[in-house]
Amino acid sequence: MKLTHCLAAACAATVLHTSSIAGAQTPAYPTHPVNLVVPFSAGGPTDAMARILAQKLGERLGQQVIVDNRGGAGGSIAAELVARSKADGYTLFFGTTGTMAINPSLYANLRYDPIRDFAPISLMATTMNVLVVNRQLPVKTLGDLVKLAKAKPDELTYGSAGNGSSNHLSGELFRTTADIRINHIPYKGSAPALVDLLAGRISMMFDTIAQQTQNIEAGKVTALAVTGPARSPLLPEVPTAQQAGLDGFDVTIWYGVLAPHGTPETIVNRLQQEIADIMATDDMKARMQKDGAAAQSTTSAEFADLIKNDTAKWAPVVKNSGASLN
């Protein structure tokens, strides 16, 4: 009997010792504030989405999630900063289609590798553009626009926020998919391009739905198609480009959270689950829809596949556009 008691006590001591070792190997996370690095300046749409997520994520983690805006070079400065940061879960990156899938083809001397240098955590939201044309242009549908462009090669123009921007590459994909000849006019941001569109100095532009909803409703521009795989709840009467006859055309812009490569799997999994739970709430779904976006979440593996697939998709589009930045 005494031997049995001794063996039981020895086993219990072993379990306690093993548990204490495991606890020492996997400390609680997080124990202090987490930085979420955003690749664009404060006040823009990317920053707004990041701040909504940061607030909710901080509430669930029990630690503040601080938004750190590091704009410049199409988001490359921020991405490189995170890629070189300590892989401990306290520096995260709010990545976009541009920083993770377009920049590798756009920048000749990119100093980070979106696939090698990051641990994808989860997608957070997707959005799309809408193709709008000047009201004076004699078209009512996307088919009308394609016919007009074919009848008047090199006469129609489209504006963008600059070379390599999502609305530039949306226009480039439109040009090649529809096999038309239209001229790109780059601006320093979407706002001045919109001014010229309303004034009739350019024919068309791809722009965010949230930016154009009021102009469409006021009859200042004509919306011909949205660029995503499904219609937008904000513009239910506007067809997708594929529904309007442009087969294979899909420009879905996404936002997601990543960590430096080597971040412990336990931390990645914890963050992935928290983000998935946040984005599944009715509150977040409603807030995303208000901004013309859709709440999303993915597994880490699914997010990694999306980055790889979109990198391959945009490489020929960037090459055909002739856009290249240093």
Mean local confidence (pLDDT), 186-200? 93
Q: What is the CATH number of domain 34-127+252-321?
A: 3.40.190.150
Q: Which fold has domain 128-226?
A: D-Maltodextrin-Binding Protein; domain 2 (3.40.190)
pLDDT by residue (tens digit) across 270-301?
999 999 999 999 999 999 998 889 999 999 99
Tell me whether the CATH fold assigned to 34-127+252-321 matches the one assigned to 128-226. Answer: yes
Contact 123, 256 (CB under 8 A): yes
Q: What residue has token string 């336990």? A: 266
DSSP state of 239: P
Q: What is the pLDDT of residue 26?
A: 55
Percentage of the chain beyond pLDDT 70 is 92
Q: What is the pLDDT of residue 43?
A: 86
Element (H, E) at 11: helix 2-25
pLDDT above 80: residue 133: yes
pLDDT above 50: residue 21: no
Domain ranges of the chain: 34-127+252-321, 128-226
Nearest to 205 by CA among 163, 243, 171, 234: 171
Q: Which stretches does DSSP call E strand in 261-312?
A: 293-295
pLDDT by residue (tens digit) across 66-83?
999 999 888 999 999 999
